Amino acid sequence: TDSVATDKSKSFQYLSVWKKIVVIVAGAFMNFIIGVVAISIVFMVGVAPSLFIGGASVNSPAQIAGLTAGDKIVDFKNAKDFSSFIEAHKGEEINLNILRAGENLNIKLTPRVNPPAGEGPIGVSLIDGGIPKENVFSAIYDGFKASINILGLIFGTLFSLVASLFIGNWQVASSVTGPVGIFNFLDTAGGLGLVYLLQILGLISLNLAAMNVIPFPALDGGRLAFIVYEKVSGGRLNPHFENAAHTIGFVLLILLMLAVTVKDIMNLV
């Protein structure tokens, strides 16, 4: 009947190859646009120069003294000056004025003279919070350019993660953060202000854009890979095989999500 024919014409499986590709890529493209917009707004608004603790290594002077991610180092505006100060006072007790959730704290610690490989004298990662305010056109340009660079880093990290899993290096995989870790990080970023939340929104959106084009079953990229294969080979894949592949991929993604969530919860305990 005409109604059945109309329903078929609207059904995804009856669309032309190029229309299918457009539908699949649209989701990733929208996530990319959201990421660009969020990061561009950050460049438009600008951020006053400031320095934050990104994290503290286990058993480092910073962790022992109580420094945590999100702490603002009041007396320094950039990582270069702070690092020079720490280097000049290795082996000496120093006082750091910290702003945490609106509360001023005084933290005492002693930078190590010979820190472990890969760690600095006090064992922290630093976040330079300063971003110069730009006009609309410059902000959009820099937002787009930064988004492209971030996507490159995301794909590079994903490649390293997969390669590490294949060679049995689980240390890289253990650094993956799940929903609980993201929520905890968003809670920390929320205390830093709207601009920092916009940065996180941009990063999450770009991560989603990257994930959606990965050729893995159950993801949009997996569906895209099957469509391209059919177009190139000229044949139609067995629907049962494709459905089974997507089901297995979905189960693997759920198991991975559960494993990462358990790890995040254990880290909070």
Asked if residue 21 has pLDDT above 90, the reply is no
Work out the average pLDDT over 175-185: 54
Higher-pLDDT residue of 187 and 154 is: 154
Q: Are 97 and 74 in contact (CB under 8 A)?
A: yes
Asked if residue 269 has pLDDT above 90, the reply is no
Beta carbons within 10 angstroms of residue 202's beta carbon: 23
Backbone angles phi, psi at 49, to 5 degrees: -55, 130
Query: If pLDDT is split at 50, 70 and 90, which confidence band does 40 have?
Result: very high
Q: Is the dihedral of CA 53, 81, 73, 144 positive or negative?
A: negative
Asked if residue 64 has pLDDT above 70, the reply is yes
- Partners of 53 in beta bridges: 126
Tell me which residue has tokens 């539908």.
Answer: 23
Asked if residue 7 has pLDDT above 70, the reply is no
Q: What is the pLDDT of residue 173?
A: 53
- Lowest mean pLDDT of 38-42, 124-128, 160-164, 183-187, name the range: 183-187
Q: What is the pLDDT of residues 113-171, one digit of tens each?
A: 999 888 899 999 998 877 788 899 999 999 999 999 988 888 887 777 666 666 655 55
pTM of the model: 0.61
Q: What is the pLDDT of residue 73?
A: 93
% of the chain residues with pLDDT over 90: 28
Provide the b/e sequence for 227-262 (b: ≥16 CB within 10 Å): beeeeeeeeeeeeeebeebbeeeeeeeeeeeeebee
Residue 238 is given by DSSP the state P
Q: What is the pLDDT of residue 152?
A: 87
Domains of the chain: 2-46+133-268 (no CATH), 51-128 (2.30.42.10)
Q: What is the pLDDT of residue 221?
A: 83
